[in-house]
Amino acid sequence: MKKTSRFQIVVMIVAVACIVAGVIAFATFRSKSSSSQLPAVAVWGTFPKDVFDRYVSNINNTLADQITVNYTQETTDNFLRDFVSALARGNGPDAILIPADLLLPNRDKLTPVPYTVLPQRTFLNTYIDEASIYLDPNGVLGIPFIADPLVTYWNRDMFNAAGLVMCADPSCKLYWDQFSSYDDKITIKDDNGTVTKTAVALGDFANVNNAREIFASILMQSGNPITAQSSDGSVSSAIKTSYRADPSGAVKFFAKFVNPSDKDYSWNRSWPAAKTAFLAGNLATYFGLASELSELRAKNPNLNFDIAPFPQFRTGGVAAAYAKLYGFSLVKSSAKTNAAYSIISILAAAQNLPKISSAMYLPSVSRAVIAAGFDDPYLDLFNRSALISRTWLDPDPVQTAKTFGTMIQSVTSGQKNITQAVNDAGDQFNAAIRQAVGQ
* CA dist., res. 223 & res. 408, Å (int): 19
pLDDT higher for 219 or 11? 219
Task: Tell me whether residue 83 is in a domain.
Answer: yes
Distance spanning both ends of the chain, measured CA to CA: 15
Q: How many residues does the chain have?
A: 439
pLDDT at 32 over 90: no
Percentage helix, strand, coil, to 5, in the chain? 45, 15, 40
**pLDDT, tens digit, 9 for 90 and up, residues 51-62:** 999 999 999 999
Say what the pLDDT of residue 170 is.
Answer: 58
Task: Tell me whether residue 105 is in a domain.
Answer: yes
Say what the pLDDT of residue 179 is.
Answer: 84
Q: Give the pLDDT band (50/70/90) at residue 183.
A: confident
- Residue 335: C-alpha distances to residues 38, 40, 90, 95, 99 (Å): 13, 12, 11, 11, 24
**pLDDT, tens digit, 9 for 90 and up, residues 387-435:** 999 999 999 999 999 999 999 999 999 999 999 999 999 999 999 999 9
* CA dist., res. 427 & res. 416, Å (int): 15
The secondary structure of residue 108, as a DSSP letter, is G
Q: Give the pLDDT band (50/70/90) at residue 93.
A: very high
Q: Give the pLDDT band (50/70/90) at residue 189.
A: confident
Q: Give the pLDDT band (50/70/90) at residue 6.
A: low
User: What average pLDDT does range 145-164 have in this prediction?
Assistant: 96
Q: What is the DSSP string of 145-191?
A: EEEEEEEEEEEHHHHHHTT--S--STT---BTTHHHHHHHHH-EE-T
pLDDT at 191 over 90: no
**pLDDT, tens digit, 9 for 90 and up, residues 242-269:** 999 999 999 999 999 999 999 899 999 9
CB 179 within 8 Å of CB 218? no
Q: What is the mean pLDDT of the chain?
A: 90
User: What average pLDDT does range 145-150 have in this prediction?
Assistant: 98
pLDDT at 25 over 70: no
pLDDT at 439 over 80: no
Task: Tell me whether residue 5 is in a domain.
Answer: no
pLDDT at 128 over 80: yes
Question: Do residues 377 and 418 both lie within one domain?
Answer: no
Task: Tell me whether residue 374 is in a domain.
Answer: yes
Question: Do residues 64 and 199 both lie within one domain?
Answer: no
The predicted model scores a pTM of 0.91
Task: Tell me whether residue 15 is in a domain.
Answer: no
Say what the pLDDT of residue 184 is.
Answer: 84
User: What average pLDDT does range 98-124 have in this prediction?
Assistant: 96
Task: Tell me whether residue 76 is in a domain.
Answer: yes
User: What average pLDDT does range 70-86 have in this prediction?
Assistant: 95
User: What average pLDDT does range 27-34 have in this prediction?
Assistant: 50
Question: Do residues 153 and 252 both lie within one domain?
Answer: yes
Question: Do residues 180 and 97 both lie within one domain?
Answer: no
Say what the pLDDT of residue 428 is.
Answer: 97
Question: Do residues 297 and 412 both lie within one domain?
Answer: yes
Question: Do residues 381 and 399 both lie within one domain?
Answer: no
pLDDT at 36 over 90: no
CB 239 within 8 Å of CB 251? no
User: What average pLDDT does range 36-51 have in this prediction?
Assistant: 93
Say what the pLDDT of residue 370 is.
Answer: 92
- Pick from 87-96, 145-154, 319-328, 365-374: least confident: 365-374
Max Cα separation, the chain?
75
- Pick from 44-53, 119-128, 185-194, 397-406: least confident: 185-194
Question: Do residues 80 and 103 both lie within one domain?
Answer: yes
Give 428-431's long-range contacts (Cβ < 8 A, gap of 24+): 428/403, 429/237, 429/239, 429/395, 429/400, 429/403, 430/236, 430/237, 430/239
Say what the pLDDT of residue 180 is.
Answer: 78
Question: Do residues 314 and 334 both lie within one domain?
Answer: no
Question: Do residues 175 and 256 both lie within one domain?
Answer: yes
Task: Tell me whether residue 21 is in a domain.
Answer: no
Q: Give the pLDDT band (50/70/90) at residue 231.
A: confident
Is 25 exposed, middle or buried (CB count within 10 Å of its CB: 0-12, 13-18, 19+)?
buried
Say what the pLDDT of residue 280 is.
Answer: 98
Count of domains forming the chain: 2
Q: Give the pLDDT band (50/70/90) at residue 30.
A: low
Question: Do residues 189 and 179 both lie within one domain?
Answer: yes
Task: Tell me whether residue 14 is in a domain.
Answer: no
User: What average pLDDT does range 76-88 have in this prediction?
Assistant: 94
pLDDT higher for 35 or 125? 125
Which segments of 336-403 are extended strands (E)? 389-390
Question: Do residues 98 and 200 both lie within one domain?
Answer: no
Say what the pLDDT of residue 34 is.
Answer: 52
Whichever domain contains 226, its CATH number is 3.40.190.10
* CA dist., res. 409 & res. 425, Å (int): 11
User: What average pLDDT does range 293-309 have in this prediction?
Assistant: 96
Structural domain boundaries, residue 404:
149-321+394-428
pLDDT at 206 over 60: yes
- Beta-carbon contacts of 414 under 8 Å, excluding residues fewer than 6 positions away, are none
Q: What backbone phi and psi angles, to 5 degrees, belong to 148?
A: -135, 90
Say what the pLDDT of residue 10 is.
Answer: 45
Say what the pLDDT of residue 181 is.
Answer: 79
Question: Do residues 411 and 315 both lie within one domain?
Answer: yes
The proportion of the chain whose per-residue pLDDT surpasses 70, expressed as a percent, equals 90
